[in-house]
Each structure stands twice: as structure tokens, then as C-alpha cells.
């Protein structure tokens, strides 16, 4: 049974996840509470992204319940793995961040000026405003991550899910991205859940660690 206190946002109770009826992880039980900072560990292919997609309601759970508390409606910001973005299209950094505003625009309508203002504000928040006209494909790994974080911020989230935000980038860029996530968690009060393989870069403010092994998710309270 999961703990459902007044700070709970999302509760997973005996959840199985996977594709086309075949489970990848089973018996998942944990809560995401308001203000949590959660890190998710696990080997390649163990099901971390699948768990994110299930929490984001992109795919349904195969079994069990995910309860989304209504007291604070969840607005998700999702930062996918940067290589998951197709780079054959000539999108600029600003174009990418504007995608984050599309949920607030009616289909087939022009991008309103306020969306452009919001997108530029989000680029400024991540220190990338000066690069707004640069092609996404020509940015460094760390810059791409910052643009993808800006896109997630443009959805006005209260929960940020980041899929390997520091994978494949140099040490200085890792430090910068972690400082940015720290700022979003501590100053902007975003609940944060992130996947990482880099245990050395885990910030001190993380309060929950979830280890995925042997087709199960084991929760460790870090504080």
C-alpha cells in the first residue's frame, strides 16, 4: 500500500508497465510528493523511460493504478533524451521552445505573440536567449539540453521529468545543467524526477532514489 499524505501528487499502487501486454516492470509502488527530488537509476533497457511514459500517460499501465491527486493538478514538463529529437528538420532553438507552448494554442492557428514572449523568457531562464536563432542540430550537447529544458518550462509545469539530462556532455556542462535543475527545484519549487547514470553528479537535495533491477523498482529514501 502506498502512502497517500496531503503532499502526494501521484501514487503508483502495484503497477505493471510494458508494451502490448508484455510487462517490463511489475509491482511498482511509490509516491511522488510535492517538492520531491527523485533520481531513477537502472541499466540500459531496464524500463526507466517506459516508467516516465506511463507516468506521463503516453502509454497506459498494464496492471494496477496510478492515482493523480486532484488537489494540485499536475502539469508535466518532459525533457526527453536529446538524441530522441530528429535533427533533419532545420529547427532553431526558439522553434524547439515554441513547441512547448503549442498546448496553449488552438489547432491550426498562428503562434500568438505571447507564446513567442514566453518562449524567449524560457530561453533566458536557461541562459540560451542569445542562441535563439541557432539551429538546434548545431548546438553542443549541453546547449541542446538547456533548450529542451526551456521547452519543458514553456508548458508551465509543476513537475519536471528529465530523461538523462547530463548524458554525453562534458564535466563543465554537467555542472551547469545540474545547477539549472537545482535552481528550478529550489527557487521555482518544481517537483523533479530525473533519470541518470552519472551517480557522481547527483545533487545533495535529492530525497528519493529509485533503483530499477530485476524487473522491479526499489525505493530508497535518501534523506
Q: Can you give the binding site for ligand ATP, defined by CB under 6 A? A: 19, 24, 42, 44-50
Strands (E), the chain: 8-19, 22-33, 37-42, 63-68, 76-79, 159-163, 191-195, 208-213, 216-221
- Exposed, middle or buried: residue 198 (CB in 10 Å: 0-12, 13-18, 19+)? middle
Cα 90 to the center of its chain, rounded Å: 24
Q: How many Cα neighbours within 13 Å face the side chain of 218?
A: 6
Shorter beta-carbon distance to ligand ATP: residue 46 or 92: 46
143 contacts: CB under 8 Å, gap ≥ 6: 93, 128, 131
Contact 13, 64 (CB under 8 A): yes
Among all chains, which residue has been given the C-alpha cell 553528479? 201
Q: 97 or 212, CB closer to ligand ATP?
A: 212
C-beta closer to ligand ATP: residue 58 or 222: 58
Question: Nearer to ligand ATP by C-beta: 77 or 80?
Answer: 80
In the complex with ligand ATP, the residue whose CB is nearer, 8 or 50, is: 50
Residues contacting residue 21 through CB under 8 Å, at least 6 positions apart: 62
Amino acid at each position: 500500500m502506498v502512502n497517500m499524505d496531503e503532499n502526494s501528487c501521484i501514487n503508483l499502487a502495484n503497477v505493471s508497465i510494458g508494451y502490448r501486454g508484455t510487462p517490463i516492470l511489475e509491482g511498482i509502488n511509490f509516491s511522488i510528493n510535492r517538492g520531491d527530488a527523485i533520481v531513477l537509476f537502472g541499466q540500459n533497457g531496464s524500463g526507466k523511460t517506459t516508467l516516465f511514459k506511463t507516468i506521463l500517460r503516453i502509454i497506459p499501465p498494464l496492471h494496477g493504478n496510478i492515482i493523480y491527486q486532484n488537489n494540485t493538478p499536475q502539469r508535466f514538463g518532459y525533457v526527453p533524451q536529446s538524441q530522441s529529437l530528429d535533427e533533419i528538420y532545420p529547427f532553431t532553438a526558439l522553434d524547439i521552445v515554441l513547441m512547448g507552448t503549442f498546448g496553449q494554442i488552438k489547432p491550426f492557428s498562428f503562434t500568438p505573440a505571447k507564446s513567442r514572449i514566453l518562449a524567449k523568457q524560457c530561453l533566458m531562464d536557461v541562459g540560451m536567449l542569445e542562441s535563439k536563432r541557432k539551429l538546434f542540430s548545431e548546438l553542443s550537447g549541453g546547449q541542446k539540453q538547456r533548450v529542451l529544458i526551456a521547452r519543458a518550462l514553456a508548458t508551465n509545469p509543476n513537475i519536471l521529468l528529465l530523461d538523462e539530462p547530463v548524458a554525453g556532455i562534458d564535466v563543465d556542462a554537467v555542472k551547469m545543467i545540474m545547477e539549472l535543475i537545482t535552481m528550478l527545484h529550489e527557487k521555482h519549487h518544481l517537483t523533479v524526477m530525473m533519470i541518470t547514470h552519472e551517480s557522481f553528479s547527483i545533487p545533495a537535495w535529492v530525497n528519493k532514489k529509485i533503483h530499477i533491477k530485476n524487473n522491479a523498482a526499489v525505493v530508497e529514501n535518501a534523506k
